[in-house]
Amino acid sequence: MSHLAPALGLGSSVLSLPLALPLLALTIAPSLALPVLGLSAALLLAHGGVVPLVAFAVCVVLLYRWFVRLPPGSPVQADVPTADAEPTGASISSAPAAAAEAADELEQFIAAREAKAQSGLGALRSRVEALALTPAQQAFLSDHTLLRYLCVTEGDAAKALVKIQDTLAWRTQHIDNRPSACRACEADPDSHCFFALGPDARGWELMYACPARSRRKDPDGGLAHMYMVFESAFARNSAPGKIAWLIDLKNLGLRDIDPRTATTAVPVFANHYPERLGQVCLLDAPAVFKFIYSRITPLVDPLTARKVRMLRGEEQAQYLARYLTPAQAGFMREALQMKATPGSLPACTAALRRPLLDEGAFS
């Protein structure tokens, strides 16, 4: 591939190292391939600009095509799921039932974890009341909030307090005394395609996101909008409830994949919105995305991995029918049949989309 850089009009030094690193990772340690790809992309963006980054994306696709063509049993491909293999009749009929059983087990696990957290609530409440808190912080620190932090610390009040203090500092910078409405979406409701659709059939707050349908692609604006949606859906993040997050990956393009979004959103969600995530469903994921996800799954903690599902075809249709209300399912079916372009949404969107709080500021 060393001839590829000059062919693209780029210096060979621009692409040689970023290309060599992922190839080496794929060969020696496949589980490290995705982080190395991210590092390589960041290096190209910092030192070469956008054009080398696009060229690198093309090279990644070529690497992927080479990878999946390796003969079965080769060292590099041995632990890759054969997602594209033709399933047998038995596996087709049993897959939806197995998925439903796994979902039920996940809900039972979440309920058991929340019950265990109850034992530390009194101790944590005493520690919190000793803090000097603003009115906004007092409202945020409801019993429901404390229980969520106790869940992630296995009922340890001292550890939960440390996490809460970290979140209070983050909220002071990003949430408190900030506008509660997205100014970009006030001017153009389709600036960001991330919104709540109300409680689903389980009572979880259903949220829909589609990067390709957003008009604005800047990570900072998108993240700020996401925080506002979370805050609005759960009374400034103090009310109980879970999120069922449907991410529509149809027509996903290069402009829709900014690594800064993921590297910021994932730790924020884990550290400052703990136990909010009930389930994430990746809908109509392209083949390359499925490949990348299969490589990163071993790096994710088992509980989070259990909450993520990739859905297509019949399994996707059955999920929508089982867990969504009729109106929500109708919206999703129509959206998934449409081409995903900026601003393209079903006609029923306005009736279902929950508005953001509009009370000046989260104070």
For residue range 162-220, what is the model confidence (pLDDT) as tens digits?
A: 999 999 999 999 998 777 778 888 888 889 999 999 999 999 999 999 999 999 988 88
Q: What is the CATH number of domain 95-363?
A: 3.40.525.10
pLDDT at 146 over 80: yes
Question: What is the pTM for the complete model shown?
Answer: 0.70
Question: Could you write out the three-class secondary structure of the chain?
Answer: CCCHHHHCCCCHHHHHHHHHHHHHHHHHCHHHHHHHHHHHHHHHHHHCCHHHHHHHHHHHHHHHHHHHCCCCCCCCCCCCCCCCCCCCHHHHHHHHHHHHHHHHHHHHHHHHHHHHHHHHHHHHHHHHHCCCCCHHHHHHCCHHHHHHHHHHCCCCHHHHHHHHHHHHHHHHHHCECCECCCHHHHHCCCCCCEEEEEECCCCCEEEEECHHHCCCCCHHHHHHHHHHHHHHHCCCCCCCCCEEEEEECCCCCHHHCCHHHHHHHHHHHHHHCCCCEEEEEEECCCHHHHHHHHHHHHHCCHHHHHHEEEECHHHHHHHHHHHCCHHHHHHHHHHHHCCCCCCCCCCCHHHHCCCCCCCCEEC
pLDDT at 6 over 70: no
Distance from C-alpha of 153 to C-alpha of 155, rounded to nearest angstrom: 5
**107-138 per-position pLDDT tens digit:** 777 777 778 889 899 999 999 999 999 999 99
**72-95 per-position pLDDT tens digit:** 333 333 333 333 333 344 444 455
pLDDT at 69 over 50: no
The residue-averaged pLDDT of 277-288 equals 85
Say if CB 249 and CB 284 are below 8 A apart: yes
**From 38-42, 90-94, 322-326, 333-337, the region with the lowest mean pLDDT:** 90-94
**227-263 per-position pLDDT tens digit:** 999 999 999 999 999 999 999 998 887 778 777 787 7
Which pLDDT belongs to residue 194?
Answer: 94
Structural domain boundaries in the chain = 4-68, 95-363
pLDDT at 21 over 60: no
Which pLDDT belongs to residue 288?
Answer: 66
**Percent of the chain residues past pLDDT 70, beyond the cut:** 65
**Higher-confidence position of 122 and 52:** 122
